[in-house]
Amino acid sequence: MQRGQEILGDRILGFQAGNEPDLYVNHGRRPEVSPVVRMSPADQRLTHRQGYGPVSYKGELGSLLNTMRAQGLKTQNQLISPSVNVRWTFQEVIDAGLLTDFGNEVGILSVEK
């Protein structure tokens, strides 16, 4: 990402932050059940219902943003997310707080299919 920003500058439309995270479990990339730590009851409901779910993905997105900031990378409107496919609805991702928490960083919302 850093090299891309150096080379392309303002010509970058964004960086995809995850590809079909709703299928990570199916592809063996995440465990079926994620631990629930310090989540609101609504977040716990979304996580328990689906194992690795939109709330888990949102946590990973937050970690990515923290890493980007620590490396001095531009974050505002730079991410394309979440690129869900079939297991999660787009509304579930919104309900998990993706835009509430990262609305300044996610510049493009994407859905596969």
Higher pLDDT, 103 or 33: 103
8 CB neighbour count, 10 Å cutoff: 10
Given a cut of 90, whether residue 67 has pLDDT beyond it is: yes
pLDDT at 45: 53
Instruction: Count other C-beta atoms under 10 Å from residue 93's C-beta.
Output: 24
pLDDT in tens, 74-110: 888 989 999 998 888 888 989 999 999 999 999 998 9
**Alpha-helix runs per DSSP H in the chain:** 2-8, 41-50, 54-70, 90-95, 98-102
pLDDT of residue 89: 87
Q: What is the reported pLDDT for 70? A: 94
In the prediction, which pLDDT does 43 show? Answer: 57
Q: Could you tell me the two tokens for 23? A: 């299928």
With 60 as the cut, is the pLDDT of residue 36 above it? no
pLDDT given for residue 48 in this prediction: 44
Q: The tokens of 48 are what?
A: 């328990």
Question: What torsion, rounded to 10 degrees, do the Cα atoms 105, 9, 11, 75 define?
Answer: 0
Query: What pLDDT does 40 receive?
Result: 58
DSSP letter for 15, please.
Answer: E
**What pLDDT is recorded for position 86?**
85
